[in-house]
Amino acid sequence: MWIRCKCGNIIHDNTDSIPYKGHIISDKEYFKMLELADELIESPIKNREALVMTFRNNIGAKSYIRIKSIFQCTCCGRLLLEDENNQYFSFTPDGNEKKDLLDFSGSETIHYM
């Protein structure tokens, strides 16, 4: 899949871990996601893999927990946000801001209790 930015750049979405792609979640869906995690942990199901797959399978564009894709054009820095009908709306930066806002340098580690 690809998206054409208003600047003319073609934004490709054809692999995983794309540095200019992100996922955006509303506050309502975020708290629903935390509640889903709590519900699964407290469920009587002992199969941990099934719990993890249940969690993963319920997060997505048309899932119980709804998230949207967001891209940042690497040429002009516009943010392109998807709506529920897979159409993209773009937002232009005020100035010459960073063009890698969706990428993180370095990595964090999992913190277990």
Q: Which residues bind Zn ion (CB under 5 A)?
A: 5, 7, 9, 73, 75-76, 78
CB nearer Zn ion, residue 7 or residue 52: 7
As measured in angstroms, the least distance from the Cβ of 30 to Zn ion is 28
As measured in angstroms, the least distance from the Cβ of 88 to Zn ion is 11
Note every long-range contact of 80-85, with CB atoms under 8 Å and residues 24 or more positions apart, other chains counting.
80/3, 80/5, 80/11, 81/24
Strand partners, 61: none
CB nearer Zn ion, residue 10 or residue 45: 10
CB nearer Zn ion, residue 65 or residue 79: 79
CB atoms within 10 A of CB 24: 13
As measured in angstroms, the least distance from the Cβ of 90 to Zn ion is 8
Q: How far is CA 8 from CA 44, 53, 71, in A?
A: 53, 39, 15
CB nearer Zn ion, residue 91 or residue 104: 91
